[in-house]
């Protein structure tokens, strides 16, 4: 999720927002949507081939709980038990004109990196970097430099390159025999669902909007059919594909249905997808990372081009997320031969305002 540092800081429009002090907020819904490529695509690997070896305690993961792309990393980190190895910084869901900021922390400064804005880590890596400041971001703690903002690759590397630091019983989220099928499923989910809701929400014309809208719901119908007789998207365990679909669909009724005009039906009106999502939400590592308060306040208060009043809706009622789903009847083993993650570490719990 990219936040521009000024209205003209980037030549494209991405899926996050400039801050409330920037005129860029009002561009959403007035400028055609285009997702940016990750500018900083170094990888943190077991062999350190890009100069960034996997090392416990060296790196800090910076996220916004409002952002679906950052939320992928939150879920992966929990499932794999990397909390002690990879520390976590959570930004304010509302930016100002310098983008993602650490105003949730004492004195408005990240206690580990010592910075007030994520942009400072970007500037430490590349002086005068003109682009948007995105989450998730991984920062090298000793140097204070951004390592990567490659949201597509970060979680794959957590699953495959950080294995020496995984908890005992960690699941294999990207099993090698299934990678071809996982990649194929994720490609359609990315194009039509993850990205599709933004293309609909930020459309500047009727035709553009309707094409994106049709893509979203055509793909949801395919996924609903696929999940009608299987518990998970690929194989009989949770994989990266489920994580990537979850982080968009958990926001669907709260944000995308109304705010982004993806309103053919609510997620709760599709029996298969709604049960699938409740199953994942109630699985340790998924729902315990979701903050509905951050999600709603970010979208409705930051995208002033779409919602100029900045009024945040009270609904939907979140109680349904905790109701029985009965998906266990389809079989499947959530963690394969592994085990669920332990309790959420102290200080990382989602506040009551963000939970059902």
The band of 25, judged by pLDDT with boundaries at 50, 70 and 90, is low
Predicted local confidence at residue 191, as pLDDT = 98
Q: Are 25 and 302 in contact (CB under 8 A)?
A: yes
In the set 67, 174, 213, 262, the catalytic residue is: 67
Overall average pLDDT of the 142-165 stretch = 98
The band of 34, judged by pLDDT with boundaries at 50, 70 and 90, is low
d(CA 95, CA 4): 10
Overall average pLDDT of the 40-60 stretch = 97
Predicted confidence (pLDDT) at residue 255 exceeds the cutoff of 70: yes
Overall average pLDDT of the 317-336 stretch = 98
Q: What is the DSSP letter of 110?
A: -
- The model's pLDDT over 74-130, given as tens digits with 9 standing for 90+, comes to 999 999 999 999 999 999 999 988 899 999 999 999 999 999 999 999 999 999 887
Q: What's the Cα-to-Cα distance from 114 to each of 83, 118, 144, rounded to whole Å?
A: 20, 10, 9
Overall average pLDDT of the 228-236 stretch = 98
Q: For this structure, is 276 an active site residue?
A: no
Predicted local confidence at residue 272, as pLDDT = 98
Q: What is the mean pLDDT of the chain?
A: 92
Q: For this structure, is 67 an active site residue?
A: yes
Task: Output the CA angle 2-289-326, nearest 5 degrees.
Answer: 125
Predicted local confidence at residue 19, as pLDDT = 34
pTM, whole model, 2 decimals? 0.92
- The model's pLDDT over 271-298, given as tens digits with 9 standing for 90+, comes to 999 999 999 999 999 999 999 999 999 9
> Nearest Cα to 104, choosing from 250, 297, 237, 343?
297
- The model's pLDDT over 169-180, given as tens digits with 9 standing for 90+, comes to 999 999 999 999
In the set 117, 122, 198, 276, the catalytic residue is: 198
The band of 35, judged by pLDDT with boundaries at 50, 70 and 90, is low
Contacts of 239 (CB under 8 A, 6+ apart): 173, 174, 175, 178, 182, 232, 233
The band of 39, judged by pLDDT with boundaries at 50, 70 and 90, is confident
Q: Are 78 and 159 in contact (CB under 8 A)?
A: no
Given CA atoms 77, 191, 134, 20 in this order, what sign does their dihedral have?
negative
Predicted local confidence at residue 37, as pLDDT = 55
Predicted local confidence at residue 16, as pLDDT = 43
């Amino acid at each position: 999720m990219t936040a521009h540092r000024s209205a003209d800081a980037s030549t494209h429009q991405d899926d996050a927002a400039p801050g409330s002090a920037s005129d860029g907020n009002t561009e959403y819904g007035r400028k055609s949507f285009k997702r940016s490529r990750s500018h900083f695509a170094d990888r943190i690997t077991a062999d350190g081939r890009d100069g960034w070896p996997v090392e416990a305690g060296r790196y800090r993961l910076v996220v916004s709980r409002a952002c679906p792309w950052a939320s992928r990393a939150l879920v992966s980190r929990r499932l794999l038990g990397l909390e002690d190895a990879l520390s976590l910084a959570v930004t304010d869901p509302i930016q100002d004109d310098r983008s993602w900021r650490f105003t949730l922390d004492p004195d408005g400064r990240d206690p580990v990196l010592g910075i007030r804005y994520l942009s400072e880590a970007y500037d430490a890596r590349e002086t005068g970097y003109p682009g948007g400041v995105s989450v998730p971001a991984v920062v090298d703690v000793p140097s204070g430099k951004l390592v990567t903002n490659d949201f597509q690759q970060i979680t794959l590397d957590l699953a495959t390159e950080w294995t020496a630091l995984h908890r005992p019983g960690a699941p294999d989220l990207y099993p090698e025999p299934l990678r071809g099928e996982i990649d194929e499923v994720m490609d359609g989910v990315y194009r039509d669902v993850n990205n599709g809701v933004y293309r609909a929400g930020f459309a500047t014309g009727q035709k553009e909007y309707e094409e994106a809208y049709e893509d979203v719901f055509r793909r949801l119908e395919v996924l609903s059919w696929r999940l009608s007789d299987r518990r998970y998207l690929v194989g009989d365990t949770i994989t990266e594909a489920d994580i990537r679909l979850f982080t968009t669909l958990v926001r669907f009724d709260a944000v995308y249905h109304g705010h982004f005009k993806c309103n053919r039906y609510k997620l709760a009106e599709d029996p298969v997808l709604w049960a699938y999502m409740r199953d994942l939400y109630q699985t340790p590592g998924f729902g315990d990372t979701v903050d509905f308060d951050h999600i709603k306040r970010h979208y409705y208060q930051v995208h002033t081009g779409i919602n100029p009043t900045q009024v945040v809706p009270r609904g939907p009622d979140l109680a349904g997320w905790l109701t029985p789903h009965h998906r266990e009847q389809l079989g499947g083993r959530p963690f394969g031969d592994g085990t669920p993650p332990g309790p959420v570490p102290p200080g990382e719990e989602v506040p009551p305002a963000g939970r059902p």
